[in-house]
Amino acid sequence: NWPVFSVRIFSTSLYVINTPEFIQGILGNTKSASFYPFHIAFTNRALGARQEIKDIVAHNGADNRYMKAIHHEMYNALQLGPNLVETNRRVVNSFSQYFNDIDTSPQSRKLFDWIKLVYTMSLADSFYGPENPIRENPQFVKHIWDFEEELPMLFLNIFPSITARKAWNARKTLTTAFEEYYNKGLDRNANAFIAGRARAARAENFTNNDLAGFEITICFAALTNTVPNSFSMLCNIFANPALTADIREEVSRVVTRTSVDGRTVISLDTTSLDTSCPILISAYNETLRMCVNATAVRVVMEDMVLKDTYDLKKGGIVQIPGGALHESVRIWGSDAGVFNGRRFLNKKDLGREQRKAQSQGLFPFGGGKHLCPGRHLAFSEITSFVAMMIYGFEIKMKDGGLISPPPFKVQQMGENSKKPKYDIEVVMSRRKEFEGMVWAFHVG
């Protein structure tokens, strides 16, 4: 119950922030509490970059021209605006190809594996254009998830070709493939994020091989939260028939039917989900609360006093355990450990202090200067995917029963979102009333 406490580990002080009102005091103070040392360590240990690239990243403690340019290009490409609209359009157009492959006859799927495939291929098409290494080599999907699985061992950087063999091989294989992608000039078809990132890197004399070496981390960062969150959200909705029915009714308000070449096209307006589907959005936020268990970390760069009360000394490490706050009974009530898809509909019924605690106590995308730039894209991807699946399809367990969400597995170091302990085999089919129709999205 302590709002802040410290633990001494050898010569380092570890400060744990355990209450919502102190979070932004850390995340918003990038001068005194910095994420950059971890960024430098990740580049040095996990990416296999040559020394010149490591030096460029680490110059001036990573507060340098290159890092500022990357930050600018990334946020410019992924903030609300035309660049994000174009990326969203590419993503959902790829989704629709998979949706249109599902007909009214039951089809067996391992659900988590299928969602991995759909998202990874759609990400590749949207970020890199139609001619990309992952589209051309579907086996690379497994490589990306192998990298994610063994990243903690790769980060240790102790004989990585042996101790993290799958991750090391995945990085090597994708680096070679993406170097060819850049050599052919195929990045001319990339989205604004990839194009801007390449522009910033080339200004510092990155080679195509240098650029390619970073791509697996782009894929990893864009997938390893959206996929488990989509899986968890989909499972928890389909497990509850009343919730499923209510969300279907909401989504029906934002779909239109048109006739194109004699076929009925059903188009889902993604721009209206946030305002017209409050139960869907509540279920999305509840999924983030239950599924995102990230621990935000910062290094104390200079002595600082938090809220005029707590002294944090230079060289210490600050941890903000998101999972502990997301599941706190004190913040969320006695049912904090249970998925309640309607939880975020009832904010007006809460007292002022409780509303404030919940607002501050849900931070799935971090905060401050390092607030996740992909949060808008993640929202669009997850809500669009889940809305279409709930509206247009039936998913049952292999035995015909309701979906039974699997428990979460124990997380590895550095994992942000909880993954299922095991995959589930399901039967999915198009709802009979949509037989022969074409699925599409409208993104503005």
Question: CA 265, CA 169: separation in Å to the nearest integer?
Answer: 43
Cβ atoms 424, 397 nearer than 8 A: yes
CB 40 within 8 A of CB 60: no
Q: Is 11 exposed, middle or buried (0-12, 13-18, 19+ CB in 10 A)?
A: exposed
Supply the pLDDT for residue 25. 84
Share in percent of the chain as helix, strand, coil (round to 5):
55, 15, 30
As given in the structure block, the two tokens for residue 44 are 């040095």
Angle in degrees, 0-180, between the axes of helices 226-238 and 375-392, rounded to the nearest 10? 30
Rounded to 5°, the CA angle 344-345-347 comes to 75
Q: Which pLDDT score, from 0 to 100, does residue 413 have?
A: 74
Across the chain, which has 444 residues, the per-10-residue mean pLDDT values are 87 90 85 92 92 95 93 95 97 96 96 97 97 95 93 91 95 97 97 97 97 94 95 98 98 96 95 97 98 92 91 94 90 94 88 88 84 94 98 97 96 86 97 96 93
- CA nearest 33: which of 302, 310, 373? 302
- The pLDDT score that the predictor gives to residue 1 is 67
What pLDDT score was predicted for residue 132?
97
* Beta-sheet strands, E only, within 218-325: 255-260, 263-269, 295-300, 304-306, 310-312, 317-321
Q: What are phi and psi of 5, to 5 degrees?
A: -145, 160
Helix (H) or strand (E) holding 168: helix 165-183
Sequence letter at residue 54: K
